Structure 1
Amino acid sequence: MGLGNPVVEEFERALAAGQQVEHAVAVSTGTAAVHLALHALDVGPGDEVIVPAHTFIGSASPVTYLGARPVFADVTPDTHCLDPDSVKSLLTERTKAIVVVHINGVAADMSALSALAADAGVPLVEDMAQALGTAIGGRPVGGFGDLACVSLFEQKVITSGGEGGAVLTDNPVYAERVRRLRSHGEGPIEGRPGLIWAHEVGYNHRLTAVQAAIGLSQHSRLDEMVDARRRNAGYLSERLADVEGLELPVEPENTVHAFWKYVVRAVPGHGRPPAAEIAATLRSRGVPVLLRYPFPLHKQPAFAEHRSMSLPVAERLSQELLALPSHPGLMEQHLDHIADEVRRAFSE
């Protein structure tokens, strides 16, 4: 059951083909995609969903929309993605799903996480809001879990004109459920052609035809834009490789990093100022750098009940990570300015 709009359906086919999955269901936002994916898995009151603490709140808030409880896991110090060992320690009989985020465009350890999920009999949801263009073993992310969630927000790798998203899956039952839920729970009435009614209470999480048309145009340039990001990241890495106290992004073996963000670590010590001070210095010199997730989710007021948790890697990274620009619009002179100012900030 589709929306009946040929532009939306064409965009869905393009997304599905590009990510090598059977079904793509276009929705209004990336957060809506996570919401609908978890709803399709029947997540509800009494359930727990494991989510990384080092991510955007939209990976976790849909858990609470459904009355379930987010359980925050730690991340790895190199990729900043979900740590399989932390996940294993948090699995219980109440675990209804695991949300794995391919953060910044780097691929999570899907081999270990998929094995964990399979052993526990728990569905795996890939949050690939930041990872269109990311691949593992030559295969795009999005087809390793039971469902995957795409964001098409204006700042992402590609956009559908400000907001937008999609749910990806190889499972036709999940795809049909998401299609119904995104449009008020409505669907055809068996034996009464042309008539629909609400089979269940759903949402208005539809993507418009105008947004889909923009998304189609952007999607046709996905490879070009990811290549540009990777070139920019490579250029920065060459220029910054010898800067003492600066840890560069990693690209795990046999993966492709889409570099939605070029995230570096300011290693503490040797009298260097903290990352927040370095970021302020860089901004004053015309480099639009940001601290990367300076507040782990379990330390934020919205999730106050989790504040006593100790997730040491996520907590440490919150004080040390800087996101530098890597978007396709950057020219060599921009990259040189960024590299020069970073080198200067770390040597002062």
Structure 2
Amino acid sequence: MSSSVELPRWPQLSDDDVEAAVAALRANRLVGLGNPVVEQFESALAESQAVEHAVAVSTGTAAVHLALHALDVGPGDEVIVPAHTFIGSASPIAYLGARPVFADVTPDTHCLDPDSVKSLITERTKAIVVVHINGVAADMASLSAIATDAGVPLVEDMAQALGTSIGGRPVGGFGDLACVSLFEQKVITSGGEGGAVLTNNPGYAERVRRLRSHGEGPIADRPGLIWAYEVGYNYRLTAVQAAVGLSQHGRLGEMVEARRRNAAYLSERLADVEGLELPVEPEGTVHAFWKYVVRAVPGGGRPTAAEIAATLRSRGVPVLLRYPFPLHKQPAFAEHQSVSLPVAERLSQELLALPSHPALTERHLDHVAAEVRKAFTG
């Protein structure tokens, strides 16, 4: 039986977003080095994330790729990455010929487990990718200390964490580089795809800028001419995308506030459901709640997460299992199949992402909460 309450989709572009895209098209400067709209977006993003440099790129995965390339990750190197995340956090490691080393996550935040990371560092470890999953902040104090002791750079994958902060500081400035996604469903979008690399290191910023555009840059003694300093990529963000991103960025605080408000509303209405574990917000942090992820505690004759998801979807509530296949158990990384990461493997069978995006009203959230309650209690 389907639901009588139809939930709105996300994203929802405003008239201002559309007008910004049209203005960028009419300006007839769509792409290229020094594009003014792209530079405006980069400046706004760097300011809001409290970093010195933001380099706009074509996707969040491209951002991870360029960040690791800027660190000279290559064949023979190892890069530690959580097993419980989107494949785009790990695939760029393979692009560069390096070996992903999958680490476990914590049972409460579902972010990278510092103890697991510490046990996996070897002389070949070239970088650690820390994912602020679902909008919750990873334990950067512990992870930074481990990385510093080992002399290994940290890359923050904050694809899901625009608006997340630790001790009043936005995530993105705790590691050596950070990676933003502007995919259509993220906290803000640049019109479907997009991303950025953040850093306080001018050398890394310069190299990422060069690599995103075929490795090309100006020739010092030949004004107006450029050449390729190294082999790079075609990872540029267009002016139209930057214009949409800039317009959406102006509402970033408003969007995060709405997500947090919706998360609190759901938590209040689901707090007493037996067998349902609600998301946590570590002390001293701000959770952006890109996803509102709950855990279906197994046992007690209760339905499994998969059964609950199927029931809710049949009722018209678009619930998803959250990363039901850890990266080390997927065919793309078949050589890692024998690795045991018990928390990531357990969570893959227990987590659900409930609708909570800013377009939902209290009426929608009441409906979601009521249907979740029914699904858990039968």
Instruction: Classify the TM-score, shorter chain.
Output: over 0.9
Match of 2:97 among 61, 67, 73: 67
Number of the residue aligned with 1:203: 233
What is residue 269 of structure 1 aligned with on the other side?
299
74, 89, 94: which is aligned to 2:119? 89
Tell me, what secondary structure is at the counterpart of 1:273? coil
Give the match for residue 177 of structure 1.
207
User: What SS is found at the alignment partner of 1:264?
Assistant: strand
User: Which residue in the other structure is 2:130 paired with?
Assistant: 100
1:127 aligned partner: 157
Q: Name the residue aligned to 1:37.
A: 67
Cα distance per residue 1:209-253 (max 9 Å; x no partner): 000000000000000000000000000000000000000000000
Residues 78-129 of structure 1, C-alpha deviations (whole Å, 9 max, x = no match):
0000000000000000000000000000000000000000000000000000
Letter in 2 for 1:235: Y
How far does residue 49 in structure 1 lie from its aligned partner after superposition? 0.2
Task: Mark the runs of 5 or more structure 1 residues left unpaired by the alignment.
Answer: none
Offset of residue 189 of structure 1: 1.0
Alignment pair present for 1:116 and 2:146 = yes
Give the equivalent residue in structure 1 for 2:263: 233
Could you list the structure 1 runs, at least 4 aligned residues long, displaced by more than 2 angstroms after superposition. none
1:134 counterpart letter in structure 2: T
Aligned to 1:189: 219
Report the Cα distance in structure 2 between the residues aligned to 1:234 and 1:171, rounded to whole angstroms.
37
* TM-score for the superposition, normalised by structure 1: 0.99
Give the corresponding residue for 2:346.
316
Q: CA deviation at 1:290?
A: 0.2
CA drift of 1:3 comes to 2.2
Choose from 43, 46, 51 the match for 2:81: 51
1:21 aligns to 2:51 (yes or no): yes
**After superposition, what is the alpha-carbon deviation per residue over 1:43-69, rounded to whole angstroms, capped at 9, x for unaligned?**
000000000000000000000000000
Letter in 2 for 1:137: G
C-alpha contact 1:28 1:205 (8 A) present in aligned 2 = yes
| Number of the residue aligned with 1:294 | 324
Contact 1:3 1:9 (C-alpha < 8 Å) held by counterparts: no
Q: What is the DSSP-based 3-state SS (H/G/I as helix, E as strand, rest coil) of the residue aligned with 1:183?
A: coil
Instruction: Give SS of 1:149's match.
Output: strand
Give the Cα separation in 1 of the matches to 2:47 and 2:142.
26
* 1:259 aligned to which of 282, 285, 289: 289
Amino acid at match of 2:57: V
AA matched with 1:249: P
**RMSD of aligned Cα (Å):** 0.6
Q: Distance in 1 between matches of 2:374 and 2:97?
A: 49
- 1:182/1:203 contact within 8 Å kept: yes
1:145 aligns with 2:208: no
Aligned-residue offset at 1:166: 0.1
Paired with 2:245 and 2:370, the residues of 1 have a C-alpha distance of 35
Contact 1:225 1:328 in 2 (8 A): yes
**Separation (CA, whole Å) in 1 of partners of 2:363 and 2:310:** 21
In the other structure, the counterpart of 2:355 is: 325
Deviations 1:306-325 (A, max 9, x none): 00000000000000000001
SS of residue paired to 1:190: coil
SS at structure 2 position matched to 1:116: helix
State the secondary structure of the residue aligned to 1:54.
Answer: coil
Aligned counterparts of 1:42 and 1:13: Cα–Cα separation in 2: 26
The whole-number CA distance in structure 1 between the counterparts of 2:356 and 2:122 is 40
1:136-187 Cα offsets, whole Å, 9 max, x none, are: 0001000000000000000000000000000000000000000000000000
SS at match of 2:308: helix
Overall identity of the aligned pairs, in % = 89
TM-superposed deviation, 1:190: 1.9
Deviation at 1:192, TM superposition (A): 1.1
Residue aligned with 2:272, SS: coil
**Secondary structure of 2:246's partner?**
helix
Distance, in Å, in 2 between the alignment partners of 1:3 and 1:100 is: 30
Per the alignment, in what secondary structure is the counterpart of residue 71 of structure 1? strand
Residue 193 of structure 1, CA deviation: 1.3
Structure 2 gaps, min length 5: 1-31
